[in-house]
Amino acid sequence: MASKLTRSNGAGWAFALPGFGLIALFIVLPFFFAFGLSLTNQRLISPNPTEYVGFANYRDLLGLAVITLEPERDEAGQLVREADGGIAYPRVRTVTRSDDYPQYRGMREWFRWQSGDNARVVIASDVVFMKALVNTLTFVVVVAPVQAGLALVLALLINQKLRGVNVFRAIYFMPVVVSIVVVSLLWRFIYDGNDGLLNNMLVGLTFGLFEPVDWLGNPDTALGAIMAMSVWQGVGFHMVIWLAGLQTISPTLYEAADIEGASKWQAFRYVTWPGLRNTAILILIVITMQAFALFAQVDVMTNGGPLDSTQVLVFQAVERGYGRQDISGGSTISVILFLIVLAISLLQRWLTRER
Partner 1 sequence: MKTRTILTAALLGGVAFAPAAMAQTELSMWYHGAGSNNQEEATVNRLVAEFNASQDDWEVVMESFPQESYNDSIVAAALAGNLPDIIDVDGPVMPNWAWAGYMQPLGIDEARLEGFLPGTIGRWGGEVYSVGLWDAAVAVFARRSVLEDHGIRIPTLDEPWTKDEFDAALVTLDESGEFEHAFDPGMAWTGEWYPYAFSPLLQSFGGDIVDRSTYLTAEGALNGEAAIEFGEWWQSLFERDLAPGTSQDPADRETGFIDGQYALQWNGNWAALPVIEAFGDDALFLPAPDFGNGSTIGAASWQFGVSAASEHPEGARAFIEFALTDEWFAAFSDGTGLIPVTKSAAQMTQNYAEGGPLEVFYELSERQALVRPVSPGYVVAAKVFEKALADIANGADVADTLDAAVDEIDADIEANGGYGH
Binding site for partner 1 (CB under 8 A): 41, 43-48, 60, 91-93, 96-97, 106, 108-109, 127, 192-194, 214, 216-217, 219, 303, 305-308, 319, 322-326
Q: Nearer Cβ to partner 1, position 109 or 151?
A: 109
Q: Nearer Cβ to partner 1, position 60 or 240?
A: 60
Contact 61, 336 (CB under 8 A): yes
Distance CA 298, CA 227 (A): 10
Residue of 346, 353, 352, 341 whose CA lies nearest to 137? 341
Q: How many CB atoms lie within 10 A of CB 302?
A: 23
Residues in a beta bridge with 114? 119
Contact 223, 134 (CB under 8 A): no
Q: Minimum distance from CB of 296 to partner 1 (Å)?
A: 15
Q: Minimum distance from CB of 328 to partner 1 (Å)?
A: 9
User: What secondary structure, in 3-state letters, does 101-166 show?
Assistant: CHHHCCCEEEEEEEECCEEEEEEECCHHHHHHHHHHHHHHHHHHHHHHHHHHHHHHHHCCCCCCHH
Distance CA 234, CA 85 (A): 47
Q: Nearer Cβ to partner 1, position 82 or 260?
A: 82
Q: Nearer Cβ to partner 1, position 60 or 72?
A: 60
Helix (H, G, I), strand (E, B) or coil at 37: helix
Q: Minimum distance from CB of 215 to partner 1 (Å)?
A: 9
Q: Minimum distance from CB of 67 to partner 1 (Å)?
A: 14
Q: Nearer Cβ to partner 1, position 222 or 284?
A: 222
Q: Minimum distance from CB of 257 to partner 1 (Å)?
A: 53
Q: Nearer Cβ to partner 1, position 192 or 297?
A: 192
Distance CA 156, CA 234 (A): 17
Distance CA 329, CA 318 (A): 10
Q: Minimum distance from CB of 22 to partner 1 (Å)?
A: 21
Q: Minimum distance from CB of 78 to partner 1 (Å)?
A: 26
Q: Nearer Cβ to partner 1, position 220 or 260?
A: 220
The pairing of strands 64-69 and 118-124 is antiparallel
